[in-house]
Amino acid sequence: MFPLQHPAPVELAVVGWVLVVLATAAALPSLRRGFLRTASQQHAWLAGIVALALLWTLQSKSPSGLDVGLYGSALFALVFGRERAVLGLLAAVALQTVLADGSWLNFGVNGALLAVVPAWLAATLQRLLERLPPNLFIFIIGNGMFVTLLVTAVVSVSFVAVAILTTGAAPPSTAELLAYSLLLAWGEALLSGMIFSALVVFVPGIVLTYRQDTYLPPRKRPF
């Protein structure tokens, strides 16, 4: 169930592929606008792709017998921004499909749920937070914890919904899977919040959504 392992219906697979192609086409122009300007940004982006692909292979069996796991997509989107996140997360989905010998028919659905939806939703919520008065605490906690929580919850519910559509009926363990996924979302939000705050403080240069001049403007010198 995470990522989707059973063959998806053809109609659902086609919808997923269409969303992935459209999101990729919208993100590709960013390659011509200084995609990753520094070596540290490039290394962090590539390392994040590999780390997520490995993370998605580490799944835990819930008492209901279904698989649950961490997503990490929201944190990746918050660090690198929407366009870079879409391309990077889709690359991670492709790598995970290879590592897990997954179904390429499901790539569109998995790509939509693990890359397109998290990247676009995180970017939208991030813009809403930017309407608040600039505050570093709000930026770190609001993005690192609350945005991650909402995005992860949406992705979890979406995977359960897709699993129901794939099997044709809601299995008896669906409620348990949903409960464990939403409970795990809190843990992921706390973990992502700590990682995000550490990145902003120690290596702000790789957090491409962070603008230091906005949240830590230089102090005016007294006359």
66: confidence class by pLDDT, cuts 50, 70, 90: low
Q: How far is CA 134 from CA 121, 130, 131, 139, in A?
A: 21, 7, 8, 8
What does the pLDDT read at residue 171? Answer: 57
Question: 10-212: which CATH architecture?
Answer: Orthogonal Bundle (1.10)
* Residue 67 DSSP class: E
Asked if residues 107 and 93 have their Cβ atoms less than 8 Å apart, the reply is: yes
Helix (H) or strand (E) holding 16: helix 10-27
Asked if residues 197 and 140 have their Cβ atoms less than 8 Å apart, the reply is: yes
CA-CA distance, 199 to 128, in Å (whole number)?
Answer: 21
- The pTM for the full model equals 0.90
- The pLDDT tens digits of the residues spanning 77-129 come to 999 999 999 999 999 999 999 988 888 888 999 999 999 999 999 999 999 99
What does the pLDDT read at residue 218? Answer: 63
- The pLDDT tens digits of the residues spanning 43-65 come to 999 999 999 999 988 877 655 44
Choice between 198 and 163, residue whose per-residue pLDDT is larger = 198
**Among all chains, which residue has been given the structure tokens 């699993």?**
163
Residue range 8-31: average pLDDT? 90
Where do runs of H (alpha helix) occur along 82-222? Answer: 82-99, 107-111, 117-130, 136-141, 148-167, 174-202, 212-215
152: confidence class by pLDDT, cuts 50, 70, 90: very high
The structural domains of the chain, with segments of one domain joined by +, span 10-212
